[in-house]
Amino acid sequence: MSEEAKPNLRHKAVALEYSDKQELPKISAKGAGYIAERILKLAEEHEVPIAEHTGLVDALSQLQVGVEMDS
């Protein structure tokens, strides 16, 4: 498969925000397609670690931005 024909495997992204003031992380951004690519590009530019886990992204993308994660 050529480079141009490869499907985009990172079509969704969820950004988590960690704070000393909060016990749990919260969702700070999420998106699909172009928005997901922008989230990933910004993370790379700011040297934010990126983890790829399709099942986790699918689950987290069901939540609203600003929501703290439940344990």
Q: What's the CATH code of the domain at 32?
A: 3.40.1690.10
What domain range includes position 54?
12-60
Query: In this predicted structure, what is the pLDDT of residue 56?
Result: 93
pLDDT score recorded for residue 1: 44
Q: Tell me how many domains the chain contains.
A: 1
The C-alpha atoms of residue 16 and residue 30 are separated, in whole angstroms, by 9
In terms of pTM, does the model score above 0.75? Answer: yes
Please give the single-letter amino acid code of residue 34.
Answer: Y
Spatial contact of 28 and 37, defined as CB atoms under 8 Å apart: no
Q: What share of the chain is helix, strand, coil (3-state, %, to 5)?
A: 25, 20, 55
In a domain, 70, yes or no: no
**Per the domain annotation, does 2 fall within a domain?**
no
Position with higher pLDDT, 41 vs 5 = 41
Q: What are the distances in angstroms from CA 45 to CA 21, 48, 53, 60?
A: 25, 8, 20, 23
Q: What is the tens place of the pLDDT at every residue in 12-59?
A: 999 999 988 888 999 999 999 999 999 999 999 999 999 999 999 999
